[in-house]
Structure 1
C-alpha cells in the first residue's frame, strides 16, 4: 500500500473470481436513515463484495430506565404487576418499528409509512380492532409482493439467528408476530406467568438478544454483495439499548 498526497491508497488482493481488485474500507453508521442507533459496521470490500465485517457499538449515555422495547418484561421480572396485554402492545409496536425500517431500506416507502403509522397508534394505546384495520391491508400487500420476495429471499440466510432463516423470512416472522400480539391486546393475565421473551428474544439469559444478533452479523455479511448489507442489518434490527445495564425505576424484586 502506497501513499499519495498524504493519503493511503487502497490495497489489492485476489477476489472470488481470481482478479486483483482494490480492497476498500467502508464504514456504515452510526447515523444513517433506517439504521440501528449506535451501530457502526467496518466493511472491507473488493468490488461489490464484502470480504470482512467488524461490528462496533457506539456507547450510549447511561440509561435511566430499561430498554424501551423490553420494558414490560423487565418490569415483570423485577416484580411489578404487568399484564400480557401490556407486553402485547409493546411487542406489536416493536415489530411494526422493525418492519418500517426494513421496508424503508428495501425502498418501499409507502408500506414503511403505513407500518410506522400503525406503530404510533399501538404506542398510543389504540384498540386491537383499529390496529387490525391499519395492519391487514399493507400486510397483505407485503406478503404477496413478488418484487419484495425477489429482493430479499435467500439474502442473509442462516438458521438459528431469528425465525425465518433469511431476510424475507424474518420480515414475514415480524408480520406474524404483529398478528399474534393483536390477539393478546385484551389479555389481563400477569406477564410474569409467561416466559420473558421480548421482541428480539429471551431476556433471562446472560447474553442480551441483540448481542446475539450483533455476533451473527459478520458471518452473515461476509461474502455478500454490498447492496445486500443494509437489508441484512435491517432484517435483524438489533437494539443497542439492550447492551447497557438495565435499571427499572420503581420496580421491586422478591427474595
Structure 2
C-alpha cells in the first residue's frame, strides 16, 4: 500500500501515513512537506526531486555543509594552478582531492536515494583518504612518493567497494600503515587531523541522532569534522613546505 513519511518538523519520529483506497488525499491532518526518513540507506525510499536539498531539513544541512567548502577548495586549487596565488603544487593537489570529496558528497545528497551516486560518493572519499597521506609525504619528502604509499593507496581504493564497517576499517588501516611506514611526516597537527577523522568515522558508523535539531545529527557532525580536518591539512602542508624551504615553487612545473 502506498505510504509516505510525515515531516520531521511536525514529529521527530517517522509516522507511516496510508493513502485512502479511493485515491483521495492521504489520511494526514497537515499540509507540511513530507521527506524521506533521515539517515536511511540509499534505495529505501522513492527517488526525491532536486528541490529536496532546499526543503528537507536533514538533507539540506548535508548538502550545504559540503557544497560551500567544496567550492572554496576548488577555487583555491584553480587560483594556485593559474598562479594568482603563489603556493606549492602539493597544496593544489590536496585542494583538488578535498574539492572532489566535498562536491561529490554534496551531489549525492541532492539525490540521497540513488544507490549509484552513493557508490560514487564512496569512491570520492578515496580521493581525500589517499590524498591526505600522499600530500603529507610530498610536503615532507620534497616531492617524492615512495612505492609503498602507492600500494597502500591502491588497497584503500579497493576498500571503497566494501560494506560500511569494513570500508571504514580499510580506510583507517591504510592511513595508519602510511604513518607507520613514514613516521617523519607525523606531527601534532597531522595527529589532530587523524583524530578528527576517527571521530567522523565513529559518527558515520553510529548514524544516529536524526531526532535532534537540524544540523546536529551524527552524519552532519561527520561533514563538519571532515571539513575541519581538511583545513588543518592545508595548514600542515604550508608548514611542512616552509620548514623544507619549498613553500613557493620557484621553478615552473616543480612540486
Asked if these proteins are the same fold (TM beyond 0.5), I'd say no
Rg (Cα) greater in structure: 2
Higher relative contact order (CA 8 A, sep 6+): 1
Please give the TM-score of this superposition, normalised by the length of structure 2.
0.36
Higher strand share: 1
